[in-house]
Structure 1
Amino acid sequence: MGEFFKLLKGGNKPSLIAAIVNTIIAALKAGAFFLTGNVAMFAEMMHSIGDAANQFFVFIGSALSKKAPTPRFPNGFGRLVNLVCLGAVLLVGILSYETIKEGWHHIQHPAASSGVAISLIVLGISIILEFAVLFKAGKEILHDVSIKGGLLAPLTTSFAHLNRAKPATKLVFMEDLVATAGGVLAFIAVLISHFTGFLQAEGIASILIGVMMFYVVGKVFLDNARGVLGETDEQMLVHLAHVVSENTNVKDIQELEVTKEGEFLHVKLVAEIDPTLTFAKVDDIHDALKELILNQQGVTDVTIAFDEDDGIRTWTTHRDKQTILKTHD
């Protein structure tokens, strides 16, 4: 049990913050829904319950994924966070269906809701809190890829680097992006329903929120399914090929693999070198390459092997300098 709590300290912080915030928001929305009967509020309540449950599971999964390898699991537990994310989005999928179903029922049988002021106040507070979590997740994405930006960078630049974010951070960012947009949509629907008498607006908002939730389900499911299978990090592969080739003792790269396992990268390199080099020199080359590769962000282990140079150039993809990453200090 002590090891478990120690691992929790290394869990993904944005997911923990998001889970706590969404638990508070879900409680507020639940209270508002039971007081007002507002269907758009029901959709938002379901959304926040799903997000809170997801993010608690993801936090725990991200923490356990950092558990050290064991004799039974020599490759470690890096992919555990992908498995947890897959389970988490299934829960969101179920809640998405219920949200859409309730919205459709309200469109067919519209009914006026009471307590407009309560609904608007709760939705306003929720939007502010969700936006704060979204901003925090955006900052974490920029930190993951070692990029600094201006005040609005977490809401702008982070989109361009979303695919390189940690699985847990990416899930939090996408869920809270949809949650913030859904809150605004529900706020507008309540106003339209109250001031125009178009009661179906709340049902339409509920369906739209459910559809957005389904989008997150599909996107996160596919991303983490690839992670479970062991996806190649193409950008890091090209970057490593470039920096390895800068070593004057490396004549060619015979094989290079960069495999994602959760938040971690595993590297396998087979380099061609001069066959006349002494064992001591080869050992120095090995140590230099190992240190270089392990200094790259996200790389946790590397396997290096050598073969004699056959004089035939086979690896050329490292010349694509547009994909070169900044070396992690």
Structure 2
Amino acid sequence: MSEFFKLLKGGNKPSLTAAIVNTIIAALKAGAFFITGNVAMFAEMMHSIGDAANQFFVFIGSALSKKAPTPRFPNGFGRLVNLVCLGAVLLVGILSYETIKEGWHHIQHPAASSGMAISLIVLGIGIILEFVVLYKAGKEILHDVSVKGSFLAPLTTSFAHLNRAKPATKLVFMEDLVATSGGILAFIAVLISHFTGFLQAEGIASIMIGLMMFYVVGKVFLDNARGALGETDEQMLVHIAHIISENPHVKDISELEVIKEGEFLHVKLVAEVDPSLSFAQVDDIHDVLKDLILNQQGVTDVTIAFDEDDGIKKWVHHKDPQTILKTHD
């Protein structure tokens, strides 16, 4: 049990923050829904409940994925976070369906809701809190890829680097982006329903929120399915090939694999070197390359083998500076 709590300290902090915030928001929205009967509030309540539940699971999964390999599981637990994310989005998918169904029912059978002030206050609080979590997740994404930016960068630049974010952080960012947008939609729907008498606005907002939730389900499901299978990180592969090729002793690269498992990268390299080099010299080259690769962000395991140079260049890698990542010293 002590090991479990020790692992929790290394869990994904944005997902824990988001889980706590969404639990508070879900409680507020649940209270407001039971008081007012507002359908748009129901959609937001379901959304926040789903977000809170799966973000707690994702936090625990991200922590357990850092568990050291065991004799029974020699490859470690890196893919566990992908499996947890897959389970988490299934829960969101169920709640998305319920949200859309309730919205459709309200469109067919519109009914006036009460307590507009309560709904707007709760939705306003929810929007602000979700926005804060979204901003923090954006900052974490930029930190993951070692990118610095302006005050607005977590809300702008982070989108360009979303594919390189940790699975848990990416899930939090996408869910809170939808949550913030959904809160604004619900806020507008309540105003339209109250001041124009167009009661179906709340049902339409509920369906739109449910559809946005389904988009997150599909996107996160596909991303984590690839991660659970063990996906090649193309951008990091190009980057590592580039820095290895700069070593004067490496004549060619016979084989290079960069496999992403959860938050971690596993690298396998077969490099060609001058056959006249001594064992001691090759061993020194091995140590230099291993240290260099391990210093790249996310790399946790490196396997290096050598072959004699056959004089034929077989490896071709891109030299476009936009595909070369910043070296982490």
TM-score by length of 2: 1.00
Mapped to 2, the partners of 1:320 and 1:162 lie a distance apart of: 20
- 1:162 equivalenced with 2:162 (yes/no): yes
- 1:297 equivalenced with 2:274 (yes/no): no
Aligned to 1:121: 121
Mapped to 1, the partners of 2:273 and 2:322 lie a distance apart of: 27
Mapped to 2, the partners of 1:319 and 1:36 lie a distance apart of: 60
Structure 2 counterparts to residues 144-159 of structure 1, below 5 A: 144-159=144-159
User: 1:138, CA displacement in angstroms?
Assistant: 0.1
Mapped to 2, the partners of 1:321 and 1:194 lie a distance apart of: 55
* TM-superposition CA deviations, 1:24-66 (whole Å, max 9, x none): 0000000000000000000000000000001000000000000
Aligned to 2:54: 54
Aligned to 1:199: 199
* TM-superposition CA deviations, 1:209-234 (whole Å, max 9, x none): 00000000000000000000000000
Aligned to 1:173: 173
User: 1:317, CA displacement in angstroms?
Assistant: 1.3
Aligned to 1:28: 28
The alignment partner of 1:49 has SS state of: helix
User: 1:321, CA displacement in angstroms?
Assistant: 3.3
Mapped to 2, the partners of 1:98 and 1:301 lie a distance apart of: 43
Aligned to 1:104: 104
Mapped to 2, the partners of 1:96 and 1:322 lie a distance apart of: 38
Mapped to 1, the partners of 2:169 and 2:237 lie a distance apart of: 22
The letter for the 1-side match of 2:16 is L
Aligned to 1:273: 273
Aligned to 1:87: 87
Aligned to 1:185: 185
CA contact (8 A) 1:238 1:320 kept: no
The alignment partner of 1:284 has SS state of: helix
The letter for the 1-side match of 2:20 is I
The letter for the 1-side match of 2:177 is L
- 1:139 equivalenced with 2:139 (yes/no): yes
Moved over 6 A (4+): none
User: 1:318, CA displacement in angstroms?
Assistant: 4.1
User: 1:320, CA displacement in angstroms?
Assistant: 3.6
Mapped to 1, the partners of 2:284 and 2:319 lie a distance apart of: 25
Mapped to 1, the partners of 2:62 and 2:202 lie a distance apart of: 36
Mapped to 2, the partners of 1:184 and 1:321 lie a distance apart of: 40
- 1:14 equivalenced with 2:14 (yes/no): yes
User: Alignment length, in residue pairs?
Assistant: 329
Mapped to 1, the partners of 2:270 and 2:309 lie a distance apart of: 11
The alignment partner of 1:304 has SS state of: strand
Instruction: Give structure 2 stretches of 5+ with no counterpart.
Output: none
User: 1:319, CA displacement in angstroms?
Assistant: 3.0
Mapped to 1, the partners of 2:204 and 2:328 lie a distance apart of: 47
